[in-house]
């Protein structure tokens, strides 16, 4: 039993949560192994925070089961789940000193003053804040507050730490530093972390398991690398990877590679990886932004059309340091983005308004499931570039 109570494996079994008529979480199943760093990623309102709060015991699922360490915890109060939560904006008690904040749960358990303060000081020194023990939370910077919240949550000795947008209250510089800190802390403690965020780059940077959510459902749950390389749906491709999504009807299939024809006549090839699409059916495919080659064509269409190529006019160029983001307006009013490495970009100077063609190879194309999800596109772009 002792080993069981340290087991931070989390299992969601067909969990549904309704608020009135709204379905916040729609029959979600997920297994997070003990000691994993799991990120729930999605736009606001996708149900990720609700899942976190159900694991913590601050919401009760309408249907389904939540198991931690193999035992159902539905109906148990937070303290008997072995979980601890770090709240968005931290919810440090404003009327208590840093030390009393950290010692709070020991006080609730009736640990005497000297013992609980000693233990709280030990935890504060772990997050390198021992000299701030007597301060009030309002006198600390955002990054220090976050570390106090971390110490306060960890003093309960949890097997699962739940983090609700833990970095959103910090400025850019601290965000980058603290996410590394969280990752390091998680490895050191060896407990399960579940981290909710709407920032793609943050999730990719820290997670072992990345769970991409949309409208109460899981779109894909896999390692960040797998999600980046082989997004399952157009939504994941756009939201996480910032990839280009194209579509066309199947023209022919040969050697596990389908040739599809877009509405404007352009042809793309896509490796099928076991899929067997019917001729004439609509396929969606994604191409990573950093695997695209861009060449100037001039205003005439002298270059012959070939497979895996689109034409357009440069709409904008954003220099990002190590790469340049080149946005190309395609003739059919879609946007196509190529991230050119700074070396490449330096070799072929491009200007806004240039007529260009963009090419890629079949190996960099990924076949997607299901519908287009184009309505998410604008949002996904804004988010990715913001993060």
Partner 1 sequence: MRGTANERRPWTFYALAAFFVLFVLFLYGPMIVIYVLSFQGPNGGLTFPLNGVSLHWFHALIAQERTGDIAGAFRRSIGLAAMVTIFTVVFSVMAGLAFRRRFAGASMVFYMAIASLIMPGLFVSLGIGLVFQSLNMQPTWYGSALGAQLTWTLPYGLLIMFAVLGRFNRAYEEAASDLGASNWQRLLYVTLPIVLPGIIGVALFGFTLSYDEFPRTVLTAGSTNTLPLEIWAMTTNVTSPALFAVGTVTTVISFIVIAVALTSIALIQRRRARRAGKANESTTVS
By CB under 8 A, name the binding residues for partner 1.
56-58, 77-79, 83-85, 87-89, 91-95, 97, 104-105, 107-109, 131-136, 139, 152-153, 156
What is the C-alpha separation between 117 and 339, in angstroms, rounded? 53
- Supply the minimum distance, in Å, between the C-beta of residue 79 and partner 1: 4
> Whose structure tokens read 């003093």?
155
- Supply the minimum distance, in Å, between the C-beta of residue 74 and partner 1: 16
What is the C-alpha separation between 144 and 299, in angstroms, rounded? 56
Beta carbon nearer to partner 1, 136 or 176: 136
Sign of CA dihedral 355, 267, 368, 257: negative
Beta carbon nearer to partner 1, 81 or 311: 81
Beta carbon nearer to partner 1, 94 or 265: 94
> Whose structure tokens read 């949309």?
214
Beta carbon nearer to partner 1, 101 or 200: 101
- Supply the minimum distance, in Å, between the C-beta of residue 56 and partner 1: 6
Tokens, residue 207: 């997670």
- Supply the minimum distance, in Å, between the C-beta of residue 264 and partner 1: 52
Beta carbon nearer to partner 1, 152 or 238: 152
Beta carbon nearer to partner 1, 77 or 274: 77
- Supply the minimum distance, in Å, between the C-beta of residue 135 and partner 1: 4
Contact 290/307 with Cβ under 8 angstroms?
no
What is the C-alpha separation between 111 and 125, in angstroms, rounded? 20
Beta carbon nearer to partner 1, 74 or 317: 74
- Supply the minimum distance, in Å, between the C-beta of residue 104 and partner 1: 5
Classify residue 313 as left (phi > 0), alpha (psi -120 to 50) or beta. beta
- Name, in order, each residue with C-beta under 8 angstroms of 130's C-beta and a sequence gap of 6 or more: 121, 124
- Supply the minimum distance, in Å, between the C-beta of residue 295 and partner 1: 54
- Supply the minimum distance, in Å, between the C-beta of residue 136 and partner 1: 4
Beta carbon nearer to partner 1, 91 or 205: 91
């Amino acid at each position: 039993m002792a080993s069981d109570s340290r087991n931070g494996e989390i299992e969601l079994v067909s969990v549904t949560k309704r608020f009135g008529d709204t379905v916040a979480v729609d029959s979600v199943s997920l297994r997070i192994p003990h000691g994993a760093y799991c990120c729930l990623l999605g736009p606001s309102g996708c149900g990720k925070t609700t899942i976190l709060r159900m694991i913590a015991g601050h919401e009760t699922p309408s249907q389904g089961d939540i198991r931690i360490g193999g035992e159902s915890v539905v109906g148990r109060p937070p303290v008997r789940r072995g979980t601890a939560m770090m709240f968005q904006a931290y919810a440090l008690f404003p009327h208590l000193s840093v030390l009393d904040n950290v010692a709070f749960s020991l006080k609730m358990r009736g640990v005497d003053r000297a013992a609980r303060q000693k233990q709280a000081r030990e935890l504060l020194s772990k997050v390198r804040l021992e000299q701030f023990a007597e301060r009030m939370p309002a006198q600390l910077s955002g990054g220090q507050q976050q570390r106090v919240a971390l110490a306060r949550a960890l003093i309960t000795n949890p097997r699962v730490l739940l983090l609700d947008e833990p970095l959103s209250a910090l400025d850019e510089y601290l965000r980058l530093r603290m996410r590394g800190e969280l990752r390091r802390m998680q490895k050191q403690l060896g407990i399960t972390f579940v981290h909710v965020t709407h920032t793609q780059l943050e999730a990719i940077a820290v997670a072992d398991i990345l769970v991409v959510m949309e409208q109460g459902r899981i779109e894909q749950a896999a390692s960040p690398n797998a999600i980046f390389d082989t997004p399952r749906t157009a939504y994941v491709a756009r939201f996480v990877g910032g990839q280009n999504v194209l579509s066309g009807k199947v023209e022919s299939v040969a050697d596990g590679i389908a040739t599809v024809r877009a509405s404007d006549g352009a042809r793309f090839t896509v490796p099928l990886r076991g899929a067997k699409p019917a001729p004439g059916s609509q396929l969606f495919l994604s191409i990573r932004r950093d695997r695209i080659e861009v060449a100037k064509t001039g205003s005439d269409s002298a270059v012959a059309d070939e497979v895996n190529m689109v034409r357009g006019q440069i709409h904008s160029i954003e220099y990002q340091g190590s790469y340049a983001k080149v946005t190309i307006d395609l003739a059919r009013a879609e946007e196509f983005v190529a991230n050119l490495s700074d070396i490449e970009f330096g070799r072929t100077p491009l200007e806004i308004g240039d007529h260009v063609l963009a090419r890629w190879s079949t190996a960099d194309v990924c076949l997607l499931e299901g519908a287009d999800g184009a309505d998410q596109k604008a949002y996904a772009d804004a988010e990715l570039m913001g993060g």
